[in-house]
Amino acid sequence: MFGIYSGSGSWFQLLPVDRIGDMESKPDFRIKRTEANRADYEQLFYEIEKSFWAPAGAAKGKAYIAQGNPGQRALFVMTLFARLVDGDGLTGFFECTPYFSPEVVEALNLLQFPDMQQAFAEAHAIIFKGDTVPDDVETVREMTDALTEDEIKKLDAISERLYAGSGVETRLFPYFKQYVDIHPEEFFKD
């Protein structure tokens, strides 16, 4: 059974009746463009992140960010990734939020950051030996605890490459800026 849903009043879409309620309750994480966030990209990214920051916990966090559009998900997950890597290297990310690994891959593809894509793939190969990243934090910690001294040195070198003298989050800003400038409709209400 199908019904008609009007998202903005200017278009109509034929949807299964049981999906109409889902469409109407989806949150809008976009922000208003202000003089302050026009003048300062750090302020802009702070406001975007604040509007979209996910609750703690794997299931809640993944379900929550799934409600955002691709750009919002990318900025959220890459900010989280950067802060964890800046604080404790690549193992810091994998040990705390392994369940966001697929979203990091998606975000790096979207932001078109090949150096970081390569580093993430190398770290993944060392820790997980080509297997899928487990969602369970304890399983990942057991895997990182079992790394050899040589593997730890390789991961440390990859993390150092990511810092590149300024930190991962700082390196991501130009990619965030470029994406936001090209896709303003994903971030702004006006």
Q: What is the pLDDT of residues 50-66, one digit of tens each?
A: 887 766 655 567 788 88
CB within 8 A of 59, min separation 6: which ones? none
Q: Strand pairing of 13-16 and 2-5?
A: antiparallel
Q: What is the pLDDT, as a whole number, of residue 28?
A: 86
* 15/80 same-domain check: no
Alpha-carbon span 180 to 81, nearest angstrom: 19
Nearest to 78 by CA among 54, 114, 103: 103
* pLDDT beyond 80 at 40: yes
Structure tokens at 65: 């960010």
* 18/36 same-domain check: no
- Contact 182/110 with Cβ under 8 angstroms? no
CB within 8 A of 10, min separation 6: which ones? none
* 64/18 same-domain check: no
* 131/61 same-domain check: yes
Residue 188's φ and ψ, nearest 5 degrees, are -120, 140
Q: pTM to 2 decimals?
A: 0.79
Enclosing domain of residue 5 = 1-28
* 164/90 same-domain check: yes
Number of domains, the chain = 2
Structure tokens at 8: 């903005």
* 4/66 same-domain check: no
pLDDT in tens, 3-34: 333 343 333 344 444 444 444 567 888 989 88
Alpha-carbon span 78 to 75, nearest angstrom: 5
